[in-house]
Amino acid sequence: MTISLKNIGRRFNREWIFKGIDYTFADRESYAILGSNGSGKSTLLQVLNGSLVPSAGDLAYTYESKLVNPEDVFTYLSLAAPYLELIEEFSLSEIIEFHFKFKHYKPGLDKQAVADTLGLAGSRNKLVKYFSSGMKQRLKLALAFCSDTPMLMLDEPTSNLDTQGIDWYLSLIEQYSANRLTIICSNQEHEYSFCKNRLSIADYKS
């Protein structure tokens, strides 16, 4: 998947969060979107994943040399972000089953493998609402990484994770980020140190 931006901007009321972005996110490459808290990183990510419409400019998605309708982009995308809510009344087993009604497992994976990846194979019947904040974050990440999509977008991926959780995240990067467009929003280098390309929101402030 390739995302092409031409003069992209987004504003709230009269304030421009960013504008004038001419940039291409190329297929199978890794990118870090950098900036301080509140700088607009998450807003740009939401424009890229189609959940926000840009206030200016044009955005195009291409997959295997064919244009993709922006309304269909979600089918090509795996996303983990602090503002995404989990269905807390579901058990671990139920939420994995529910998620993979909409996405395909990466080759070689199944429900058991996802639970094993989380280290929670023995908690399949535990309700998500009883998970710690760190385990909820792990669950979001595991669902995103284990989905067979050409795009992976992660916003502040190690929020609520301890040192062991950060190491776990980095191991998932090694296993599951290859051969897909990967975009990380972050201001912590350990989250994006593997990214070959960097985009700073500060370069696109008015």
pLDDT at 120: 82
The Cα 34–Cα 49 span in angstroms is 17
Neighbouring C-alpha atoms within 13 Å toward the C-beta of 11? 11
pLDDT one-digit tens code per residue, 179-188 = 999 999 999 9
Model-level pTM? 0.95
Catalogue all structural domains in the chain, each as residue range(s) with its CATH number.
2-204 (3.40.50.300)
**Buried b / exposed e along 156-184 (16+ C-beta atoms within 10 A):** bbbbebeeebeebbbebbeebbeebbbbb
Please identify every stretch of the chain with a pLDDT value under 70, giving residue numbers as ranges: 206
Q: Supply the pLDDT for residue 206.
A: 67
The letter for the amino acid at 60 is: A
CB of 185 closer than 8 Å to CB of 18: no
Residue 129's pLDDT is 96
